[in-house]
Amino acid sequence: MSKAAGLIVRLGLRPHPEGGHYREIFRSTGHVKAGQGRRSAMTLIYFLLRKGERSLFHRVLSDEIWHHCEGAPLRLITLSPNLKDKRTVSLGSLRGRTAPVAVVPAGYWQAAETRGAYTLVACAVAPGFDFKDFQMVRDNPRASANLRKTHPTLIKLID
């Protein structure tokens, strides 16, 4: 069994709609009133991508903080809500050009792919994650068409 397959079993991960595997490991009991309604103050998940898997472009209506746990570096791409401003971060151990933590602001489009056999991260969302606040770019025809036009090299991260 590969290290990634072992982690999927050990951590109880299941497929995520954006790609990869995840499991929620914390949801705060405290709540906040957010623009999208009442939400848990914070949530935290494990998220794993194996070689060949991608986290396809999606967005949430809360800030998200990615923390590298183990495995290969992760390429995290963010696009501003209007899809014009692109930022690429290499998430990994604190050496070279990688950093262990990256922030995706609320409403930004994001996608990721591992640079090796697998990458395990933890993602904290505040206000807490709710699938009501989650949107795949492929489900937004206008954003999808705009992304295909303005960033043709990223088409593989749409569907």
* CATH label of the domain that carries residue 98: 2.60.120.10
The rounded mean pLDDT for the chain is 96
Count of the separate structural domains present in the chain: 1
Integer Cα distance of 153 and 159 in angstroms: 13
Range of the domain at 55: 3-157
Element (H, E) at 107: none
pLDDT of 95 reads 81
- Please tell me the predicted confidence (pLDDT) of residue 35: 85
Give the Cα separation of 123 and 48 in Å (integer): 10
Write the pLDDT tens digit of every residue in 46-97.
Answer: 999 999 999 999 999 999 999 999 999 999 999 999 999 999 999 999 888 8
pTM for this prediction: 0.95
Q: What is the mean pLDDT of residues 141-145?
A: 96
Residue 134 tokens read as 């989650």
DSSP per-residue letters across 9-23: HHHT-EE-TTSSEEE
Q: Among candidates 22, 26, 24, 33, which has minimal Cα distance to 62?
A: 33
